[in-house]
Chains A and B, each alone.
Chain A
């Protein structure tokens, strides 16, 4: 796709800044793979990305694949947006805890805010919102 296509896609919501480890994390998602940093030394998973393992201090790590399966940890249903771009309310900002342990902020694509439950099983899906950025979202189900 081209820049023109981006404009035509009409995606108007804020995007992450693709730099450093953040760019790497989103680049895996663009390839439709949800990966997290895992320490080579103590095997601890971590998110958001960090340079050093907070568990053992090792600087050696790799992007390891997640199963993409998790459960809803919590959510908030935004009725009054506090950002000018998010005017399509209500929407639910959801925290999902992956099987491996990391938690991510996301949206559930196939459930409205009133149909969410804590501990509901969910699975990752990939939303190519622009040519540069794909967001990891989730749908209900094991």
Chain B
């Protein structure tokens, strides 16, 4: 058996309210602190028990977070620099810290003013807009107007459509399922705004083949989780009533080459392709064991691609997999039961971990997956970094 299997648990989760206009009205740091306080309170731990911190990829430093939270004896602080794959990959680092005794209770916060902050940057920091992704993008893609995620990934989507006859309705099914789930989530920005396939097909092009409704939201908000040992998780459960959620398997992977999406021998082979089998092997479970999946949904096609690369179906068979409501609640594999980045909020995928934890605690209310025991969560980072966690309830 893999020595790290089930050697740490998610014991606390926290979120701020998620919103768009007019914005949160507070700083990125403030959002992350609020989510952190909520996660620690949810865990039953005291702030003084937190001695490990996975620092966020932007918005606040570990020093600022620790200073505000009164963490006087921070024993471990590290950053996983994988963009949207960072939160799930940070579970791996937190697990290793807890298992080795480097830290006892690791806090993982992330969040941003992705709506109000981005609006301000659009007009004032053209240079930052120009090259968030490194020299290959700046020197080889940007001169041809290819500088942003919907453009990079729609290159893959079009190629998939060519090789596997993937249709717009397949991508639409993913957008529709997310929106349907958001109707059952009080914190979802798109609650109260249902979406039909026709609405999807009528939405304007952003970067063809991506329409507006293929794209995730821009929102303000933060989320955080606390990772601790199984023994402590069991003790805390007696106090909080929350079932421990085990990190049974987790892994990260990187595409090759990571900095150039165009020159990969196979454009569909991404970080998750490497991460998924490692995480399943560690867990002793496979995709067929999952009761639900929270898939990093920056764009609809990335959900389809990750379902394939995470082994829920074969490469090229994603269209058949998502058809006929199979990824909706009540279907074969409910996907993004909270509404995801597309219909709940864009919290860099930490909201996916929070949702998976609630599902496995059986605390997901109207959107609870019956008797959920195994959940899969993925992360997707710039140009195709990937991570996958298999979370379980015992």
Set B135, B145, B148, B159: member contacting A73, Cβ < 8 A:
B159
Interface range, A side? 35 or more
Question: In this assembly, does B146 line the interface, its C-beta being within 8 Å of a C-beta of chain A?
Answer: yes
Contact (Cβ within 8 A) A15 B151: no
Contact (Cβ within 8 A) B205 A16: no
- Per-residue contact bits, chain A 50-78, to B (CB 8 Å; 1 contact, 0 not): 00001000000000000000000111111
Set B126, B140, B207, B208: member contacting A84, Cβ < 8 A:
B126
Q: Given known contacts A74-B155, A74-B158, A105-B262, is B143 in contact with A79 (CB within 8 Å)?
A: no
Question: In this assembly, does A103 line the interface, its C-beta being within 8 Å of a C-beta of chain B?
Answer: yes
- Per-residue contact bits, chain B 239-267, to A (CB 8 Å; 1 contact, 0 not): 00000000000000000010110110001
The complex places the Cα of A104 from the Cα of B262 at a distance, in Å, of 7
Set B139, B145, B159, B207: member contacting A16, Cβ < 8 A:
B139
Q: Report chain A residues within 8 Å CB of B207.
A: 76-80
Contact (Cβ within 8 A) B148 A16: no
Set B155, B158, B210, B263: member contacting A47, Cβ < 8 A:
B263
Contact (Cβ within 8 A) B158 A16: no
The complex places the Cα of A129 from the Cα of B141 at a distance, in Å, of 16
- Please report which residues of chain B, range 167-208, place their CB below 8 angstroms from some CB of chain A when the two chains form the complex: 204-208
User: Within the complex, what minimum Cβ distance (angstroms) separates B136 from chain A?
Assistant: 5
Question: In this assembly, does B93 line the interface, its C-beta being within 8 Å of a C-beta of chain A?
Answer: no
User: Within the complex, what minimum Cβ distance (angstroms) separates A91 from chain B?
Assistant: 6
Question: In this assembly, does B142 line the interface, its C-beta being within 8 Å of a C-beta of chain A?
Answer: yes
Q: Report chain A residues within 8 Å CB of B96.
A: none
Question: In this assembly, does A124 line the interface, its C-beta being within 8 Å of a C-beta of chain B?
Answer: no
Instruction: Give the residue name and chain of the A residue nearest to B267 (CB).
Output: A74
Question: In this assembly, does A13 line the interface, its C-beta being within 8 Å of a C-beta of chain B?
Answer: yes
Q: Report chain B residues within 8 Å CB of A76.
A: 146, 150-151, 154-155, 158, 207-210
Contact (Cβ within 8 A) A75 B158: yes
Instruction: Give the residue name and chain of the B residue nearest to A83 (CB).
Output: B147
Instruction: Give the residue name and chain of the B residue nearest to A18 (CB).
Output: B139
Question: In this assembly, does A121 line the interface, its C-beta being within 8 Å of a C-beta of chain B?
Answer: no
The complex places the Cα of A135 from the Cα of B146 at a distance, in Å, of 14
- Per-residue contact bits, chain B 259-295, to A (CB 8 Å; 1 contact, 0 not): 1101100010000000000000000000000000000
Question: In this assembly, does A42 line the interface, its C-beta being within 8 Å of a C-beta of chain B?
Answer: no
Interface range, B side? 35 or more
Question: In this assembly, does A5 line the interface, its C-beta being within 8 Å of a C-beta of chain B?
Answer: no
Residue of B126, B208, B259 contacting most chain A CB atoms (<10 Å): B208
The complex places the Cα of A73 from the Cα of B150 at a distance, in Å, of 17
Residue of B143, B155, B260, B263 contacting most chain A CB atoms (<10 Å): B143
Q: Given known contacts A48-B260, A105-B141, is B155 in contact with A82 (CB within 8 Å)?
A: no
Set A17, A48, A74: member contacting B156, Cβ < 8 A:
A74
Contact (Cβ within 8 A) A16 B140: yes
Set B143, B154, B206, B262: member contacting A14, Cβ < 8 A:
B143
Secondary structure of the B side of the interface?
helix
Q: Given known contacts A48-B263, A102-B263, is B143 in contact with A135 (CB within 8 Å)?
A: yes
Instruction: Give the residue name and chain of the B residue nearest to A15 (CB).
Output: B143
Q: Report chain A residues within 8 Å CB of B130.
A: 14, 83
Q: Given known contacts A13-B143, A47-B263, A84-B126, is B159 in contact with A79 (CB within 8 Å)?
A: no
Contact (Cβ within 8 A) B139 A22: yes
Q: Given known contacts A78-B207, A82-B129, is B141 in contact with A93 (CB within 8 Å)?
A: yes
Q: Given known contacts A77-B205, A80-B207, A81-B145, is B140 in contact with A48 (CB within 8 Å)?
A: yes
Contact (Cβ within 8 A) B143 A16: yes
Q: Report chain B residues within 8 Å CB of A135.
A: 143-144
Q: Report chain A residues within 8 Å CB of B162.
A: 74, 118
Instruction: Give the residue name and chain of the B residue nearest to A47 (CB).
Output: B263
Q: Report chain A residues within 8 Å CB of B259.
A: 48
Question: In this assembly, does B368 line the interface, its C-beta being within 8 Å of a C-beta of chain A?
Answer: no
The complex places the Cα of A3 from the Cα of B140 at a distance, in Å, of 24
- Per-residue contact bits, chain B 114-138, to A (CB 8 Å; 1 contact, 0 not): 0000000000001001100001101
The complex places the Cα of A78 from the Cα of B145 at a distance, in Å, of 8
The complex places the Cα of A103 from the Cα of B136 at a distance, in Å, of 13
Contact (Cβ within 8 A) A105 B146: yes
Chain B interface residues (CB < 8 Å from chain A): 126, 129-130, 135-136, 138-148, 150-151, 154-156, 158-159, 162, 204-210, 257, 259-260, 262-263, 267
Complex A-B: 16 CB contacts under 8 Å: A13-B145, A17-B138, A46-B263, A48-B140, A48-B263, A76-B207, A79-B208, A80-B207, A82-B129, A82-B148, A82-B151, A91-B145, A93-B146, A104-B262, A105-B141, A118-B158
Query: Which 7 pairs of residues, A with B, have the shortest CB-CB distance?
Result: A82-B148, A93-B146, A77-B208, A79-B205, A16-B139, A86-B145, A76-B154
Chain A interface residues (CB < 8 Å from chain B): 13-17, 22, 46-48, 54, 73-86, 90-91, 93-95, 102-107, 113, 118, 135
